[in-house]
């Protein structure tokens, strides 16, 4: 990108204006980075727990007692990873810093382009997946300069960003290329970007946009437009909106999510049951991060790598890793003598040994990750089996309850039957007693009648046959 020159009375005032311009946050970052991460902080934190092996190996390799600065620490998953070192984190998102603070971590709210540390404060610094949220090349360059500034000579800086070259090309189709409809949010009237030939072209990128708010000459406007048009002709898309799906059950009923929906910052996706936020990303092209770090202060690039994330995710993203070493350089230093050269060779050998050790640790971490994936698969299968058994158990419990209820009903019926039987037996006994009493009474009556008949016959006989 071509630098935009600003007319000023002195080089000092020009530098101050450019510095203020870089440190003033563009509207697109406020809206599509700061506000988004503030809204999704709890859900984002719950998904960020796995450590990247390269970062873990880097932190574990640092000497005991080192002061490590994490610029853009997020939920603080790397803070305290090496128990023998002191960690200090910072992030622009107050809700994420609050999450770190609740864990007892040393953190502060700060911008990556204006770190609140004195020069040479730390022994090492890391910037993990932060630079790609900065919308201009000047701000990304400033962030690298800040990382180098706060680390003492002989220290190291580890930087990782998302790469433009993705192994899974279908992933890019899920991202939204930055389109002209967002131009008005970060380009004011009279800007070179307000030109129709640029506004109507969907391929321009934010890295081509001058940041300064100071008025410039028409000739400079013309030069800026030419630079932008050259970028458009190259047709290299690096600016994207990457969606974050916040499930309905994790979204606030009122507050950040409701406000985001009302203002249009987020939208509902009923099919996925989530509130969808767009996050601004500038994905880095091959060699872009190295160009940013080259020539910054005392920095010297000692390692660079492009690789996939080493843990399982629904989608893979390539990330670029860069390790920068701060070399102690004094003005007017004479050329190194033979002893210094030998020392440098020895340092290089030690560094190579450390890198070999880091690579060995990384391979072991990858093997452990593979084992973890295998164990997670087994755990998933066991969970599925347990769920099936739980389902069968609940079904059996329900059947047992039904059987118990039926048994209770049968017992009640049997008790009623016993009572009924006893009642009828009692009535039968009483009836038999009454029958027996009746028979005895009637038998006596019959005998009396017989006696009376005999007497009557006797009387008749006396009348018929007198003596």
Query: What is the spatial distance between Cα 425 and Cα 419, in angstroms, rounded to a whole number?
Result: 10
Which domains, ranges and CATH numbers included, belong to the chain? 20-187+235-326 (3.40.50.150)
Kindly state the percentage of the chain with pLDDT values over 90. Answer: 48
pLDDT of residue 339: 62
Backbone angles phi, psi at 108, to 5 degrees: -150, 150
Token pair belonging to 361? 């640790």
Neighbours of 128 (CB within 10 A): 22
Q: Please say if the pLDDT value at position 385 is more than 70.
A: yes
pLDDT of residue 337: 52
Host H or E run for residue 87 = strand 86-91
pLDDT of residue 334: 44
Mean pLDDT of 304-328: 43
pLDDT of residue 323: 59
| CB distance 37 to 44 below 8 Å | yes
CA angle 92, 320, 18 (to 5 degrees): 50
Q: Please say if the pLDDT value at position 210 is more than 50.
A: no
Q: Please say if the pLDDT value at position 59 is more than 70.
A: yes
| CB distance 115 to 266 below 8 Å | no
Reported pTM = 0.55
Output DSSP code: residue 116: S
Query: What is the spatial distance between Cα 406 and Cα 394, in angstroms, rounded to a whole number?
Result: 18
Query: Which residues, in sequence order, are CB contacts of 195 under 8 Å at separation 6+?
Result: 225
Neighbours of 95 (CB within 10 A): 17
Query: What is the spatial distance between Cα 75 and Cα 233, in angstroms, rounded to a whole number?
Result: 40
Kindly state the percentage of the chain with pLDDT values over 70. Answer: 73
Q: Burial code of 37-55, b = ≥16 C-beta within 10 A, e = fewer?
A: bebbbebbbeeeeebbbbb
Query: What is the spatial distance between Cα 239 and Cα 345, in angstroms, rounded to a whole number?
Result: 42
**pLDDT tens digits, residue range 187-205?**
433 333 444 444 444 433 3
Q: Please say if the pLDDT value at position 395 is more than 90.
A: yes
| CB distance 147 to 127 below 8 Å | yes
pLDDT of residue 22: 58
Query: Which residues, in sequence order, are CB contacts of 405 under 8 Å at separation 6+?
Result: none
Mean pLDDT of 301-321: 46
278 three-state secondary structure: strand
| CB distance 369 to 310 below 8 Å | yes
**pLDDT tens digits, residue range 75-101?**
999 999 999 999 999 999 999 999 999
């Amino acid at each position: 990108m071509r630098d935009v020159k600003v007319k000023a009375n002195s080089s000092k005032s020009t530098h101050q204006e450019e510095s203020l311009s870089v440190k003033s946050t563009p509207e697109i970052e406020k809206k599509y980075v700061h506000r988004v991460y503030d809204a999704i902080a709890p859900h984002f934190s719950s998904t960020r727990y796995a450590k990247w092996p390269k970062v873990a190996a880097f932190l574990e390799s640092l000497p005991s007692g080192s002061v490590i600065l994490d610029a853009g620490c997020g939920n603080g998953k790397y803070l305290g990873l090496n128990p023998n070192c002191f960690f200090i984190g910072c992030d622009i998102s107050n809700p994420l810093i609050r999450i770190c603070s609740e864990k007892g971590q040393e953190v502060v709210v700060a911008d990556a382009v204006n770190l609140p540390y004195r020069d040479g404060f730390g022994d090492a610094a890391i910037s993990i997946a932060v630079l790609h949220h900065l919308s201009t090349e000047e701000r990304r360059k400033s962030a690298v300069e800040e990382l180098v500034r706060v680390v003492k000579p002989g220290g190291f800086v580890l930087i990782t960003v998302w790469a433009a070259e993705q192994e899974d090309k279908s992933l890019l189709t899920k991202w939204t290329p930055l389109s002209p409809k967002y131009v008005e949010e970060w380009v004011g009237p009279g800007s070179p970007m307000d030109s129709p030939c640029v506004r109507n072209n969907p391929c321009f990128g934010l890295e081509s946009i001058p940041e300064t708010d100071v008025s410039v000459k028409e000739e400079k406007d013309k030069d800026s437009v030419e630079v932008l048009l050259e970028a458009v002709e190259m047709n290299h898309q690096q600016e994207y909106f990457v969606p974050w799906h916040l499930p309905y059950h994790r979204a606030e009923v009122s507050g950040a999510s409701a406000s985001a929906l009302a203002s249009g910052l987020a939208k509902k996706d009923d099919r996925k049951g989530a509130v969808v936020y767009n996050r601004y990303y500038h994905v880095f092209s091959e060699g872009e991060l190295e160009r940013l770090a080259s020539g910054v202060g005392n920095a010297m690039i000692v390692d660079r790598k492009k690789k996939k994330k080493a843990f399982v995710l629904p989608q893979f993203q390539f990330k670029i890793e860069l390790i920068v070493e701060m070399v102690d350089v004094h003005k007017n230093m004479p050329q190194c003598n033979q002893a210094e050269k030998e020392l440098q060779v020895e340092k290089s050998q030690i560094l190579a040994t450390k890198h070999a050790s880091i690579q060995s640790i990384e391979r072991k971490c990858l093997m452990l990750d593979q084992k973890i994936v295998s164990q997670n698969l087994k755990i998933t299968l066991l969970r599925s089996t347990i769920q099936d058994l739980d389902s069968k158990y609940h079904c059996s419990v329900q059947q047992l309850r039904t059987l118990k209820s039926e048994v209770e009903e049968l017992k009640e019926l049997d008790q009623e039957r016993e009572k009924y039987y006893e009642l009828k037996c009692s009535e039968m006994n009483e009836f038999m007693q009454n029958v027996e009493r009746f028979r005895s009474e009637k038998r006596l009556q019959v005998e009396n009648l017989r006696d009376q008949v005999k007497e009557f016959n006797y009387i008749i006989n006396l009348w018929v046959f007198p003596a």
